[in-house]
Amino acid sequence: MTTILPTERPTLAETARQLTGGGRGILAADESIRTMSARLAAEGIEASETTRRDYRELLLTPKGLAESVSGIILCDETFGQRLADGRPFPAASRELGVLPGIKVDTGTSPLPGGDGALITEGLDGLGGRLASYAERGAAFAKWRAVFDVRTITTYSARANGHALARYAALCQRHGLVPVVEPEVLADGGHDLESSAYATRLALGWVFEELDQAGVDLAGIVLKPNFVTPGLRAAPAAAAEVAAATFEVLCDTVPAGVPGIAFLSGGHPTADVCAYLTDLSRAVTSRGRPWQVTFSFGRALVSGPLRTWAGEPSNTAAAQERLVANCAKAARATR
Ligand code: 13P
């Protein structure tokens, strides 16, 4: 393996642009052990360290993946595992042309005084963990704050924005690009306006707190939700989602942010690709400076997981399906 000397290391700004530009996006494969195990079980696959590893190897190794995928987000378990050929996941990922990232928050708990809102945990000891991930090859990290339109308040937006800012500042100190993810959940029957209100509140406080923490915006990636009605409400047209999302972004996201990579939030693959197509057009035609792309999880991997079903004989078909989903999402950014 070639050693990267400190002076040869790309800057945070270069990595942030690489992750979100060139018509490529990020594959989110960082489900916690518990979530991943539940998703495997739901497909009739016995959940174990081995099956979780096999599945993540399937996701990382399809031929041609790097044509549409710039980075992959892993969880701690996968980050420490090896491919069948013995290569550690982060090293193999770099060799395949896909930057390895690591999810570093430790999940949510009720926010004290937050009337049902959640706060994301994981700041204790974070510096030491970031140093270790950086040394083992991580290029970027991810921290997800979670909001529900029914419980978001200024207090919960500010508290989570503050945690995101402390995480982001610490990442940059350790040479990792922070993916800053304030997610307004799409679960529920709410309307588009409620999603717009909550997303605006969340993003507003995130950027206020990033500013206070002295985070270099050129070296972050923003990972927001699309502004949509809830998954149990009547869906909105892609043009409507893109227009609402664009308006909120214009009001809250500074021009210094190089790239915005959207989560899929449980929406179908075709829908999020349509949102991204329309939004990319708006950003380009209206002269906004950001690169917009995807950092989808379920919209890319749910189909392939079903196709795989834990059977080695299905691996090639599952990988083909994954590459097709990633290519479709990548086309939506171009
Ligand atoms: P989804 O695209 O499935 O919403 O997941 C993306 C993600 O990384 C959530 O943290």
> 2 CA distance to ligand 1 centroid (A)?
32
- Find out whether 222 and 180 touch, Cβ atoms under 8 Å: yes
In order of 64, 241, 257, 270, 321, the CA distances from 277 in angstroms are 22, 11, 20, 11, 20
Residue nearest to atom 10 of ligand 1 (CA): 144
Residue 181 annotated to the active site = yes
Instruction: Give the model confidence (pLDDT) of 17-62 as tens digits.
Output: 999 999 999 999 999 999 999 999 999 999 999 999 999 999 999 9
pLDDT tens digits for range 224-255: 999 999 999 999 999 999 999 999 999 999 99
Average pLDDT over residues 159-182: 98
**Token digits of residue 127:** 């510096």
- Told to judge if 103 belongs to the known catalytic residues of this protein, a careful annotator would answer no
pLDDT confidence bin for 9, thresholds 50/70/90 = confident
Q: Separation of 5 CA from ligand 1 center, angstroms?
A: 33
* Ligand 1 atom showing the smallest separation from residue 73 Cα: 8
Tell me the C-alpha distance between 296 and 130, whole Å: 23
Cα of 141 to ligand 1 centre, how many Å? 14
- Closest Cα partner for 13 from 289, 258, 293, 260? 258
pLDDT on residue 7: 58
Ligand 1: residue whose CA is nearest its atom 1: 297
Ligand 1 proximal residues by C-beta, below 6 Å = 28, 144, 181, 263-265, 296-299
User: Measured in angstroms, how far is the CA atom of residue 1 from the centroid of ligand 1?
Assistant: 32
Ligand 1, atom 5, residue with closest C-alpha: 297
Query: What does the angle CA 288 – CA 185 – CA 216 come to, to the nearest 5 degrees?
Result: 40
CA separation for the pair 263, 200 (Å, rounded): 16
Residues 6+ apart with CB under 8 A from 269: 296, 299, 300, 303, 325, 328, 329
Q: What is the pLDDT of residue 128?
A: 98
Cβ count within 10 A of residue 94: 17
Tell me what pLDDT residue 4 has.
53
Predicted TM-score of the model (pTM)? 0.97
Quick one: pLDDT band at residue 88, thresholds 50, 70, 90? very high
Pocket test of ligand 1: the residue of 298, 301, 302, 326 to mutate, having most ligand atoms within 8 Å of its CB, is: 298
What Rg value do the Cα atoms of the chain yield, rounded? 19
* pLDDT mean over 274-281: 98
Residue 1 is predicted with a pLDDT of 45
